Chains A and B, each alone.
Chain A
């Protein structure tokens, strides 16, 4: 039974309810110093309803949030070193749509359940498959579309390879044009 039906028992045991279904996953190959430029271009090209951008440290969350603000985009941030009450307030305001972008460290224990988030960007690629699934995975509601874009440096290649293998998924190179139907809800859907 296991072999026939479960592609990866490791994944299933960790997160029964999270799925990558409906999420189209891409990577962009970058150097560290190109990441901000790359992100800025993504902001200008993508039809973002709301986005969450993940970094691997609280320090980098704060630095990136400042950069994004300097670039002229509205941006909140939350990370593990903030008081819970403060985090709750920021997340509440983000969910209410007061701001389009949220920079975050790894806080979400059950995946993202903000309906309006149609773009997730891994500014820093995670080391663990479990972390990747928490960041990108959805709780599997039908018709919940989105794209995930991973900024990949040469140093990330082993993690990228391993996470694809462990999750039994494929992260494709970002195409020249991303089909809006993959992540932009049509008006009649709402």
Chain B
């Protein structure tokens, strides 16, 4: 069921005008601070 929902999110949008504009890579990359997320993930790990 979850897979179906995901597929719907991915593929459900009909092909239309919006696709003629370029996907904004930079704007989206700015939404993900890899450094900060890595620090957060590392901080969740127990010290070995």
Question: Which residues of A are in contact with B by a Cβ distance under 8 Å?
Answer: 28-38, 40-42, 44-45, 57, 59-60, 63-64, 67, 70-71, 152, 154, 157-158, 161, 173-174, 176
Contact = CB atoms under 8 A, between A and B. Distances in A.
Given A161-B41, A173-B34, A28 B29 contact: yes
10 contacts: A33-B9, A33-B12, A33-B13, A35-B10, A36-B10, A37-B19, A41-B23, A60-B10, A63-B10, A64-B11
A47 to B, nearest CB: 16
Interface residues of B, number: 23
Contacts of A45: 22
Interface of B: 3, 6-7, 9-13, 15, 18-19, 22-23, 25-26, 28-29, 31-32, 34, 37-38, 41
Nearest to B10: A32
* B contact patch SS: helix
Contacts of A34: 23, 28
Contacts of B22: 41, 44-45
A37 B25 contact: no
Contacts of A33: 9-10, 12-13
Contacts of A70: 15
B29 A63 contact: no
A67 B22 CA distance: 17
Given A37-B23, A63-B11, A173-B29, A157 B41 contact: yes
A67 B38 CA distance: 34
A4 B25 CA distance: 39
